[in-house]
Structure 1
Amino acid sequence: MQVSSKLDKMVPVTVLTGFLGAGKTTLLKRILTENHGQRIAVIENEFGPESIDNDLLVQETSEQIIELNNGCVCCTVRGDLMDTLNDLRKRRQQGELKFDRVIIETTGMANPGPVCQTFFMDDDIAEYYRLDAVITIVDAKHGMETLDRQPESQKQVGFADRLLISKRDLVNEADYEALRHRLVRINPRAHVTPVNFGETDLKAILDISGFNLNTILDIDPEFLADEHADAAHAHDHSHEHHHHDDDDDGHHDGCGPGCHHHDHHHHHAHDDEISAFVFRANKPFDPERLEDFLGGIVQVYGPDLLRYKGILYIKGSNRRLIFQGVHMMMGAEAGAPWKSSEKPNTKLIFIGRKLPQEIFTRGLEQCLV
């Protein structure tokens, strides 16, 4: 019980990211002007012309923190995010500022990884703030082109707990489905939702608990169906062909589950650097071997691992182990006991940049009892 009351007291933080022009500023303006009854501190890590204060916060002062009339607080980060968060914490503790939660808007070109790591690296910040989720906005009209041209936009998708697709009305159904399919291939654990910012339910993007260890592992069914089709496809063809599929991260863009007749054409049209794969096993892990292997993998591939999460079946334990990580930082805790009706098993998902799936799979298999 102690854990939940401690979490309740922590200030939840949402990281809002997305490429230039995707609609972050539109969403923020709505948050900063609407009477939603929540006092939200918005930290703007934005230096470009899109910056929100041009329209909303016309002000002559050099003061970094402005209070708005709906109870929100707006800050512009001119320096280090850690300093800003610690400054907000002190001012809140001293009663100078009142806010219930924080939203950090990253610059359109930013990789959200370093922002997320801030919440694990600094003890004061880790004690006071609870990183809730990364929300990434993707523009339906320009999303495909942005993902092709801008590697950072793929990272923004890979890090997300929620993917919001804006400007859905500007594209036809086939183009929307092709984009959605591609987003699922990059990040099958984020819910993908088309969104109209005039009507977004703020509850749908706040309090997601994407970084809580005890949350369930959701993987998009479309991805699992595709993966299953990949495996069946590989089984029917030579091993060499299957290996090629793996290298191109099994990406079949704009094409439904089980559709493979234009594999190579699709692969090279959108050869995404960021992709995902799932590891499953019905045998238990040897805990020591697993710890050694994961420690080694994180040392070697940490910079290219964006998010990884799993429910693990561990030898000698009647509980599932919940495991997750961001880059080189990982954590685990005991989850619910396996029910008598359940067959204990492991399901692990890795999202990262050009990860060698075969090395991960072989290594994890060697850690099984």
Structure 2
Amino acid sequence: MSDSAFAWMSGAEPIPISVITGFLGSGKTTLLNRLLRDPAMGNCAVLVNEFGEVGIDHLMVQELQENVVLLASGCLCCAVRSDLVDALRLLAIQRLRGEVPPFSRVVIETTGLADPVPVIHTLITDPLLLERFRLDALVTTVDACHGLAQLEDHPEAMKQAVIADRLVLTKLDLQGRDVAALRGRLRAINPGAAILAAGDVGAGDLFVTGAFDPARRNGELLRWIELSGGAGEGHHDAEVRTVCLRADAPLSWEDFSSWLGEVLSAHGPMVLRTKGILDIAGRDRPVIINGVQHVFYPADELLAWPDGPRRSQIVFITRNLAPSVLSRPFRQRFQPTAALPT
């Protein structure tokens, strides 16, 4: 398969990709099965590990290729037989050749024990994929019955919850107890994510967020920064903390990039999520950064500054990292006259 054959839809908008993750037994496959019946999924291509795991036999209406079927809703379902890059490239070629219907969104389901960061890394760093696809949103399912214990006992479950743009509570019909404690825990470790009930959500609630597309949908990012950074360094839940750094004077892009690189080099595994709006010297429009651990989506610009003061705001969600480890060197470097905490 030549690279030139991948040059489909030249000049077209990149197709958004959403990732569904969640711990073992959290109900993400059940959620996906229900969403596959949603007419709003008719323009989607869904990538799964195996058809049998999703249980789509009763939904299948036509086998288009060995690993691609067309469902009654019009949604394509593609079994990933090799790595993710190959699967997406193959699907793109099949679309170009007319072997599958056109699609305008891709949804990827990860396995229950998967660390989603390598998937995200692939989606936002592979040069061929970046030409034709863009990461849109990270959706994590959380078991209402066992979620609290899973967050406590399994690092994978904690990471899946912390990096999410949407948190979907499942099995609420089986939960006789009040889920306020779980909601509170999720809000503490990821204050900017929307928390939704699985039975109430449709495809539009989960997959049209633009969380990684700041130039087109800045409201989602600004809401995340506002909710996450509203208390400065106050959000925390045992090991997980949220810290918002602010600078009133314009930043040098070179200096800030160097500082951020130093942070990730020294504390990368402990920095779980980063989002920010930056006032960069020499630029009229705000610059947006968005990262998961050490992986960052290419920096972009908003069309204009939102209402309110023009200043830089960067939110970090960290694990086992004191807020002062980030805030002190940031202030020393970019706000040398600011009072430092003792």
Residue of structure 1 in register with 2:224 after alignment: 219
Pairwise CA distance, 1:50: 4.6
Quickly say closer, same or farther: Cα 1:166–1:192, change in 2 above 3 A: same
- Return the match for 1:21 from 17, 21, 25: 25
Q: 1:228-282: per-residue Cα shift (whole Å, max 9, x none)?
A: 6x76xxxxxxxxxxxxxxxxx732xxxxxxxxxxxxxxxxxxx44x443222333
Query: Is contact 2:241–2:323 with CA below 8 Å preserved after alignment?
Result: no
Flag as ranges the 4+ runs of structure 1 deviating above 4 A.
5-8, 53-62, 220-225, 315-318, 336-339
Pairwise CA distance, 1:297: 1.6
Pairwise CA distance, 1:8: 6.4
Residue 83 of structure 1 pairs with residue 86 of structure 2: yes
Residue of structure 1 in register with 2:108 after alignment: 104
- Return the match for 2:271 from 292, 301, 305: 305
Aligned ranges for residues 32-51 of structure 1 at < 5 Å?
32-36=36-40, 38-45=42-49, 50-51=53-54
Please give the root-mean-square deviation of Cα atoms over the aligned residues, in Å: 3.2
Quickly say closer, same or farther: Cα 1:37–1:133, change in 2 above 3 A: closer
Pairwise CA distance, 1:97: 1.0
The normalised TM-score by structure 1 is 0.76
Rounded to whole Å, the distance in 2 between the matches of 1:11 and 1:155 is: 26
AA aligned to 1:289 is D
Quickly say closer, same or farther: Cα 1:147–1:58, change in 2 above 3 A: farther
Rounded to whole Å, the distance in 2 between the matches of 1:220 and 1:343 is: 14
Q: 1:198-247: per-residue Cα shift (whole Å, max 9, x none)?
A: x422211121111113323223877656x46x76xxxxxxxxxxxxxxxx
Rounded to whole Å, the distance in 2 between the matches of 1:281 and 1:288 is: 15
AA aligned to 1:350 is F
Pairwise CA distance, 1:136: 0.7
Pairwise CA distance, 1:184: 1.6
AA aligned to 2:39 is N
Task: Count how many residue pairs are aligned between Structure 1 and Structure 2.
Answer: 321
AA aligned to 2:70 is E
Quickly say closer, same or farther: Cα 1:10–1:338, change in 2 above 3 A: closer
AA aligned to 2:311 is N
Pairwise CA distance, 1:289: 2.4
Residue 250 of structure 1 pairs with residue 242 of structure 2: no
- Return the match for 1:195 from 186, 194, 198: 198
Residue of structure 2 in register with 1:152 after alignment: 156
Quickly say closer, same or farther: Cα 1:128–1:57, change in 2 above 3 A: same
AA aligned to 1:103 is V
Rounded to whole Å, the distance in 2 between the matches of 1:291 and 1:136 is: 29
- Please say which of residues 27-36 and 55-64 is displaced more in the overlay: 55-64
Gaps of 5+ in 1: 232-248, 252-270
Residue of structure 2 in register with 1:325 after alignment: 291
- Please say which of residues 180-189 and 279-288 is displaced more in the overlay: 279-288
